[in-house]
Chain A
């Protein structure tokens, strides 16, 4: 399973390295989303500073949609999905590989967006340990849930429009948990940040388990 996961993740990341879709298209898009938030709140520095974490995670969610679309767009082109099925790769391995590649790309995007909210919104960040732990758990959760739903929508003609409808409500707990944890880290909320990590960890664990168990079923149904 892990050998297959590494193989698939390597392939996806190599494709990204050659095509640079995430770095050249999704990352600028993320920054544009931040700029739009700035216009929407009329450059009100107080709101932007205090809502920074929430806006950051909304932007991450929007970017994760694009990353997932791209990840499964690759397999949709030229019968690559059949190629994966014919290869006899372990379905759980394919899931982990694709989720890993998405997670790696999301991590890069989160780094860019963090820079973005600091520079554009003047956001304070706070406890780096809490921020980092939140990012890791939220990214794993988003990548796992996204990969499950990406595969679910992949074979359908209406996948571009269906994926946001399916995915966004489901990843709402990540938005909630990660935002609360970041607010706590920045000292913007009274509650402790670490308890929200339990929610993020549970979400990630559930979707990784679901993906490992259910991906074969989803992959079979083109």
Chain B
């Protein structure tokens, strides 16, 4: 295994193929149901079809941010501390941000036709934009580099701060008087507000978006698992290179000797190292 073969490896496996296939089929069915089968709304006309995108993407955005917070919590919890959780949090946030953008864009288009404006200063809209902003900040923080452990800890704390906006955003339509519609489907103790094909299509949109979310997350995690491998093997290389610096007389431009298999640095190189570095000549 070397860097090249790692980087050439696809991140697909049986799970992603199955989920990806299901997502494709689901998207096809959703298109047909959403654009052809389901009727236009008596009040909202054709624009009602955006409800097959908008609520589902909002939910997936929340899911992404929620998983990000869970992953961060798992990272901060000493017993489950592992950089895997940090990567899980990062991947979830990325996918969440993608869906959050979809949600805002689809909502904005709907707003243009229903309210006549692309954007209005409304609690729900503003808070969702804020939610996007805080998670963009989180992703910027993730890209700062440096010590991976340090970055993971910083980001985990930041993710928890960012997630605080989610419940406020979700309850915005209940706490403040806003233009935004209240929940259509999940109303405590009441039946959904829509019926028939509309209801079926909308429910399907949640399933399909959920599959799409899972597919994207699996691929992101796959990429990061590969990065993991590169780093792990890089560690062995890095140690060897670092020790080779001690063998000062080796020209730095020459190719560095790779380590045989799993045998780590040390052993055979040691006498050379010692001979090359008599006391008093080390400067």
Contact = CB atoms under 8 A, between A and B. Distances in A.
The reply to whether A and B meet directly (CB within 8 Å) is yes
B140 A218 contact: no
B44 to A, nearest CB: 30
A89 B144 CA distance: 28
Interface in A169-187: 169-170, 172-173
Contact of B154 (A206, A207, A210, A221): A221
Contacts of B147: 221
A64 to B, nearest CB: 16
A217 B76 contact: yes
A207 to B, nearest CB: 8
Contacts of A173: 168
A221 B151 contact: yes
A217 B162 CA distance: 17
B247 interface: no
Given A165-B140, A217-B76, A221-B149, A210 B157 contact: yes
B144 A148 contact: no
Given A217-B76, A221-B150, A148 B134 contact: no
Nearest to B150: A221
B154 A152 contact: yes
Given A172-B130, A206-B164, A158 B157 contact: no
Given A170-B161, A214-B157, A218-B157, A155 B130 contact: no
Interface string A185-220: 000000000000000000000110010001001101
B134 A218 contact: no
A166 B161 CA distance: 10
A145 B170 CA distance: 22
Contact of A210 (B130, B133, B160): B160
A162 interface: yes
Given A158-B144, A165-B137, A165-B140, A221 B153 contact: yes
A17 interface: no
B158 interface: yes
Interface residues of A, number: 25
Interface residues of B, number: 25
Contacts of B280: none
B254 interface: no
Given A152-B158, A169-B134, A172-B130, A222 B150 contact: yes
Interface in B229-265: none
Interface in B124-166: 130, 133-134, 136-137, 140-141, 144, 146-147, 149-151, 153-154, 156-158, 160-162, 164-165
Given A156-B144, A158-B144, A210 B150 contact: no
Contact of A148 (B76, B133, B161): B161
Interface in A127-163: 145, 148-149, 152-153, 155-158, 162
Nearest to B133: A169
Interface in A84-110: none
B141 A155 contact: no
19 contacts: A148-B157, A149-B158, A152-B154, A156-B144, A162-B137, A165-B137, A165-B140, A169-B130, A169-B133, A169-B134, A170-B162, A172-B130, A173-B168, A210-B161, A214-B76, A214-B157, A217-B157, A218-B157, A221-B154
